[in-house]
Structure 1
Amino acid sequence: MCRCPEVAPQYDDVFLFEIQGDIDVGLLAAAMDDLVERHSVLRTFIVPTDSGHVQSVRRSRRQVLADGSGSFGVDTLADALLAQRRGTAEIVNGAPLFQAQIHPVEAGWVLAVIVHHLICDEWTMAILWRDLSECYAARLQGRDPRLPPLPTTYADYARSQRAAWPTAAARAVPFWKKVLAGYQDGFAWPQPRNTSTLPSTEVRFAPFLFPADRYPSIRELSRSCRATPFLVLLSATAVAASRVTGRTDLLFATDTASRESPAVRNLMGFFVNTRMTRVEVAKARSFGDVVAAVRASWLAAERYRDCHIHPVMQVLGEPNSMRVDMVYGLLEDQPGPRFADAEIRPLPVTPTYHYWRDLGFQWYPTADGFRADVIHKPSRIDPATLAAVVDEVSAVLERPQI
């Protein structure tokens, strides 16, 4: 947020749901209070102090479900809420990190939930919709919510992470220093042939399909190399990036859920960590060697998964990396709240995205293979380079070789 101010407002995630049918707004407001009481992270805010910024918890447990002001149509409400997203200065000076609004429209209501990425990840959003749905059902039926117990709080988790940092860093920093020894920073893509009129940080998403019947090597290599399909796809992305850029030593960043502990699996908050993977393509004799090396690197880093990587990378000079993630679609089973006797329809929200990396891959498993969203800056990655990268990934997966 501080490194790239243009990016900051997009971390306010906006979710809109059109509600038709029988809905008790008063009980929904009470259910929202129950949700905020259960998950104190929804009451947190950032404040500056003499020693830096601190995330604090508001004492009040009431989250008033604010009545939407103004006369908005469904089509224009998303644009209005996106325009109100907060920048860095507001967020680090006490602005609420969670907001909920109910807007009357001609055919019913629109529920708007705005939650900042500082306190949520995809796993958290799945919990939010599940718990809000159950809290509303409990209010409607006059009973207590039937939700899993929470052995800890997000504040306790944060305190434990801070207390563990000196010991964890003493182990992790030497490990990552050894991993990155001799790594030459920089990730230069071919210079764009066209001049984009988009801002330098604005990105686009280009989707591509990789059906299993055309790319059987993904599953075959997973079995023969005893690696997950994601590690095969990460390896293929690395070889493709090497072919396009000419670099044979590359660094990749992958988000991980960090929910291994049962104590935090039902807890809302931001738990995501990042796993770094160095891929030295020149040292491999075959694509299978690349997959095996990536697997070995991933397993070696597993011992340090509880140490947050970002302060470690700051100690080591923050080397540039390319992001490659696997997204498992946690929200597919419940993409929003469910209320009895009401029909709920998610409304499309299409913000403009900004990013500081030039290019990255998000892989998704599908019923018949895999899909990739290639996130790229048109100002830095022109159509020819984008096509070259995707073609090389396809070529590697069709004929697994370096």
Structure 2
Amino acid sequence: MIPLSYAQRRLWFLTQLEGPSATYNIPMALRLSGALNRDALEDALRDVVGRHEVLRTVIAVADGEPHQRILPVEETGFALSVAEVSAAALDGAVAEAARHVFPLDSEIPLRAWLFAAGPDEHVLMLVVHHIAGDGWSMGPLARDVSAAYAARCAGQEPAWAELPVQYADYVLWQQEVFGSEDDPESVLSRQVGFWREALADAPEELALPYDRSRPAVASHEGHAVALELSADVHARLREVARERGVTVFMVLQAALAVTLSRVGAGTDIPIGSAVAGRTDEALDDLVGFFVNTLVMRTDLSGDPTFGQVLERVRETSLAAFAHQDVPFERLVEELAPVRSLARHPLFQVMLTLQNNAQAGVDLPGLRVEGMVTQQLTGARNTKFDLDVMATEVFDADGAPAGLTGRIVVSADVFEAGAAGRFAEWLARVVEVAVGDPDVRVRGIDVVGSVERALVLEGWNGAASGVGVGVVGGLVPERIAEWAVVDPGAVAVVCEGVELSYGELDVWANRFAWLLRGRGVGVESVVGLCLPRGVEMVAAVVGVWRAGGAYVPLDPEYPVERLEFMVGDSGVGVVVGRGGRLGELSVAGVGVVDLGDGGVVEELAGLSGGVGPGVGVLPGSAAYVVYTSGSTGRPKGVV
């Protein structure tokens, strides 16, 4: 049996985990104008299926292990689907075809549709599943379709040279060359060792300016906008790359890292990047899934200049390229990051600079134009929170004519407008950074004049006092007001548990009296070592009513980190419920275990109808929150 390549195996695993979807489809839509020979086109496509074994391969499973099953052409069931459509319905038909879901165990990974919008107007839609192709593959596919159609129109079979290898040969070679991870001298072991060190302590998830919380399972739906950089900026970008001894991609990577850092992602920025993965020229004309993914980690600590960032990017990138053979899929298995159906492992931002030859189809007697419908551009599938794609454009004389591309953001965590904001921010950073490579990172402003005016003037144009309503404007007082006006209204919901305003008010008052009895007052700091939930919210309100400020202490954190936060913030009392609470040991700090029978009895005997009535001001401390500590010791902010 022929195994799957490492890349194929991960895609197969994801389809088993997430269920079949169109997430990994590669669509190519071509508008054909002129007299089309439909029979010749279908025969030509069948010729291509016969030429590339991977296009007639299904994924079978034996004893729980997937393997390739290469079908004879006559058993593939391949046929060109032909449909007559109106001009108005064309975009919708093409978009629906792009969303075709491949059952990989029973259908070959290539589908073709021909939509006839008139006697001499057609759209050819080809969809390849990523498990059988990549961006590079579109070039050989286009060339082979062109040659086969020309031959079939002449009544002949295509006379192309035999391919030196097939995808199955590459898979077997990959298994042999990489060796076993049990062998410390194997290529796989040495390269995994490099990546284990290179990615040590990298952030598992970047803190991007999300519009909403991440769902438990990613939908892979996205919002897309165009990315445009002018010819002048393009020319200056290439000039800086030449002067600094880096590639255009490295300049874009540095600029993207700076952009993300300036909008709150920190100073340790992992970005994903694709490499062709065709390390032998025998693979150049082969359709298949060869592309590999590298994790490029950019260090922005110390407020470096953009030129210094380029030096850091060059160093890490060259080291990464020197260890590009270990498949990303195998790297994920080896490094074993926390797995989640909600986000991509190891990185959530992808950068691609398209420099492959564009796939061009040349069919005799026809004018062929690439087609991108509104349905395909307005929203598209994405595996990442942020996906940046760019292509260099040159004029007839070879001079830089600009960069074009697309930015796609995940609809799970971003509103549609976020894609446009990222495009504007990145374009501004690139322009500033290549204009003056000696500018420091903190001196690069991502916010433009229009956005700055909106924040400073538009959103702050109307002033309002804090004394609103019968009781007042502070949060604890407003909650008390609602407890009187509508005590049965739902105040907090978490995992099916609800707490009304009346219940929240009573619980918070009792908790506030409990804390007052332990010396908590105005500006006191209370540690809350509780999981997210209804009880945590009620405890926060209780701390405020006692006059104090709270420090959230995640029960999942290591004890050493929790003890540092308690000591550094000056916590006087820590409240929790079992778990880590019993492991904490900080001199002079009291502990309240809400699971202790005595504490439960004490709470029940305290007044829930009225709070302590501590006088706090709007400027009093409300909470202390700590940074992640990914670049050193965590830092607290009041």
TM class, shorter-chain normalised?
0.7 to 0.9
Q: How far off is 1:220 after superposition?
A: 3.1
- From 157, 171, 174, the counterpart of 2:170: 157
Matched, 1:107 2:119: yes
DSSP-derived class of the 1:122 partner: coil
Q: Give the AA of the match of 2:354.
A: V
Matched, 1:37 2:37: no
Question: Could you tell me which residue of structure 2 aligns to residue 179 of structure 1?
Answer: 198
- From 49, 74, 79, the counterpart of 2:62: 49
Encode CA deviations 1:296-316: one digit per residue, 9 max, x unaligned: 112112222222122112321
Question: Could you tell me which residue of structure 1 aligns to residue 71 of structure 2?
Answer: 58
Answer yes or no: is the 8 Å Cα contact 1:205–1:376 preserved in 2: yes
What is the alpha-carbon distance in structure 1 between the residues aligned to residue 239 and residue 368 of structure 2? 42
What is the alpha-carbon distance in structure 1 between the residues aligned to residue 107 and residue 30 of structure 2? 23
Question: Could you tell me which residue of structure 2 aligns to residue 338 of structure 1?
Answer: 362
DSSP-derived class of the 2:362 partner: coil
What is the alpha-carbon distance in structure 2 between the residues aligned to residue 212 and residue 7 of structure 1? 42
Answer yes or no: is the 8 Å Cα contact 1:221–1:288 preserved in 2: no
Question: Could you tell me which residue of structure 1 aligns to residue 601 of structure 2?
Answer: none
Answer yes or no: is the 8 Å Cα contact 2:44–2:145 preserved in 1: yes
Encode CA deviations 1:91-125: one digit per residue, 9 max, x unaligned: 24322211234455532444332221211112211
Question: Could you tell me which residue of structure 2 aligns to residue 369 of structure 1?
Answer: 402
Question: Could you tell me which residue of structure 2 aligns to residue 93 of structure 1?
Answer: 105
Encode CA deviations 1:215-265: one digit per residue, 9 max, x unaligned: 654223212221111111111111121111151011111011122311000
Q: Give the AA of the match of 1:270.
A: F
Q: How far off is 1:379 after superposition?
A: 4.9
Matched, 1:244 2:263: yes
Q: How far off is 1:48 after superposition?
A: 2.9
Answer yes or no: is the 8 Å Cα contact 1:42–1:98 preserved in 2: yes
- From 122, 147, 161, the counterpart of 1:134: 147
Q: How far off is 1:70 after superposition?
A: 5.5
Question: Could you tell me which residue of structure 2 aligns to residue 323 of structure 1?
Answer: 350
Tell me: CA distance 1:142–1:66, structure 2 relative to 1, closer, same or farther (3 Å).
Answer: closer
What is the alpha-carbon distance in structure 2 between the residues aligned to residue 40 and residue 211 of structure 1? 43
Answer yes or no: is the 8 Å Cα contact 1:29–1:65 preserved in 2: no
Tell me: CA distance 1:309–1:187, structure 2 relative to 1, closer, same or farther (3 Å).
Answer: same
Q: How far off is 1:194 after superposition?
A: 12
Answer yes or no: is the 8 Å Cα contact 1:6–1:354 preserved in 2: no
What is the alpha-carbon distance in structure 1 between the residues aligned to residue 370 and residue 233 of structure 2? 34
Answer yes or no: is the 8 Å Cα contact 2:295–2:347 preserved in 1: no
Give the TM-score normalised by structure 2: 0.56
Q: How far off is 1:345 after superposition?
A: 4.1
Residues 217-256 of structure 1: pairs in structure 2 closer than 5 A? 217-256=236-275
Q: Give the AA of the match of 2:347.
A: N
Q: How far off is 1:291 after superposition?
A: 1.0
What is the alpha-carbon distance in structure 2 between the residues aligned to residue 192 and residue 348 of structure 1? 28
Answer yes or no: is the 8 Å Cα contact 1:203–1:354 preserved in 2: yes
Matched, 1:357 2:384: yes
DSSP-derived class of the 1:324 partner: strand
What is the alpha-carbon distance in structure 2 between the residues aligned to residue 215 and residue 23 of structure 1? 40
Matched, 1:147 2:155: no
- From 84, 89, 92, the counterpart of 1:79: 92
What is the alpha-carbon distance in structure 2 between the residues aligned to residue 341 and residue 280 of structure 1? 54
What is the alpha-carbon distance in structure 2 between the residues aligned to residue 93 and residue 4 of structure 1? 15
What is the alpha-carbon distance in structure 2 between the residues aligned to residue 138 and residue 215 of structure 1? 41
Q: How far off is 1:176 after superposition?
A: 0.3
Q: How far off is 1:136 after superposition?
A: 2.0
DSSP-derived class of the 1:252 partner: strand
Q: How far off is 1:143 after superposition?
A: 5.1
Q: Quick one: higher RCO (CA 8 Å, sep 6+), 1 or 2?
A: 1
Of the structure 1 ranges 224-233 and 387-396, higher mean CA displacement relative to structure 2 is found in 387-396
Answer yes or no: is the 8 Å Cα contact 1:284–1:290 preserved in 2: no
Question: Could you tell me which residue of structure 1 aligns to residue 432 of structure 2?
Answer: 395
What is the alpha-carbon distance in structure 2 between the residues aligned to residue 29 and residue 19 of structure 1? 14
Q: Give the AA of the match of 1:234.
A: Q
Larger-Rg structure: 2
Question: Could you tell me which residue of structure 1 aligns to residue 523 of structure 2?
Answer: none
Q: Give the AA of the match of 2:366.
A: A
What is the alpha-carbon distance in structure 1 between the residues aligned to residue 367 and residue 66 of structure 2? 42
Q: Give the AA of the match of 1:398.
A: G
Tell me: CA distance 1:4–1:204, structure 2 relative to 1, closer, same or farther (3 Å).
Answer: farther
Encode CA deviations 1:283-340: one digit per residue, 9 max, x unaligned: 57322221112111121122222221221123212423421110126326x1xx3222
What is the alpha-carbon distance in structure 2 between the residues aligned to residue 79 and residue 216 of structure 1? 39
Answer yes or no: is the 8 Å Cα contact 1:66–1:102 preserved in 2: no
Question: Could you tell me which residue of structure 2 aligns to residue 348 of structure 1?
Answer: 372
Tell me: CA distance 1:238–1:180, structure 2 relative to 1, closer, same or farther (3 Å).
Answer: same
Q: Give the AA of the match of 1:331.
A: Q
Tell me: CA distance 1:206–1:6, structure 2 relative to 1, closer, same or farther (3 Å).
Answer: farther
Tell me: CA distance 1:329–1:320, structure 2 relative to 1, closer, same or farther (3 Å).
Answer: closer
Give the TM-score normalised by structure 1: 0.86
Answer yes or no: is the 8 Å Cα contact 1:122–1:331 preserved in 2: no
What is the alpha-carbon distance in structure 2 between the residues aligned to residue 55 and residue 201 of structure 1? 27
Tell me: CA distance 1:35–1:7, structure 2 relative to 1, closer, same or farther (3 Å).
Answer: closer
Of the structure 1 ranges 337-346 and 321-330, higher mean CA displacement relative to structure 2 is found in 337-346
Matched, 1:291 2:310: yes
Of the structure 1 ranges 318-327 and 290-299, higher mean CA displacement relative to structure 2 is found in 318-327
Answer yes or no: is the 8 Å Cα contact 2:177–2:187 preserved in 1: yes
* Percentage of matched positions with identical amino acids: 25
Question: Could you tell me which residue of structure 2 aligns to residue 272 of structure 1?
Answer: 291
| Structure 2 alignment gaps of length 5 or more | 1-13, 181-185, 338-344, 395-400, 442-638
- From 12, 34, 46, the counterpart of 1:21: 34
What is the alpha-carbon distance in structure 2 between the residues aligned to residue 269 and residue 319 of structure 1? 25
Q: How far off is 1:154 after superposition?
A: 0.8
What is the alpha-carbon distance in structure 1 between the residues aligned to residue 16 and residue 383 of structure 2? 9
| Structure 1 alignment gaps of length 5 or more | none
Q: Give the AA of the match of 1:204.
A: H
Tell me: CA distance 1:144–1:284, structure 2 relative to 1, closer, same or farther (3 Å).
Answer: farther
Answer yes or no: is the 8 Å Cα contact 1:239–1:393 preserved in 2: no
Q: Give the AA of the match of 1:341.
A: G
Q: Give the AA of the match of 1:224.
A: E
Encode CA deviations 1:331-376: one digit per residue, 9 max, x unaligned: 26x1xx3222233344434334232422132121122232342221
DSSP-derived class of the 1:147 partner: coil
What is the alpha-carbon distance in structure 2 between the residues aligned to residue 75 and residue 184 of structure 1? 48
Answer yes or no: is the 8 Å Cα contact 1:45–1:96 preserved in 2: yes
Q: Give the AA of the match of 2:241.
A: S
Encode CA deviations 1:138-158: one digit per residue, 9 max, x unaligned: 233355635354211111111
DSSP-derived class of the 1:185 partner: coil
DSSP-derived class of the 2:143 partner: helix
Q: Give the AA of the match of 1:135.
A: A
Q: Give the AA of the match of 2:296.
A: T
Tell me: CA distance 1:356–1:122, structure 2 relative to 1, closer, same or farther (3 Å).
Answer: closer
Encode CA deviations 1:258-284: one digit per residue, 9 max, x unaligned: 223110001111111112211111157
What is the alpha-carbon distance in structure 2 between the residues aligned to residue 105 and residue 38 of structure 1? 30
- From 380, 393, 401, the counterpart of 2:413: 380
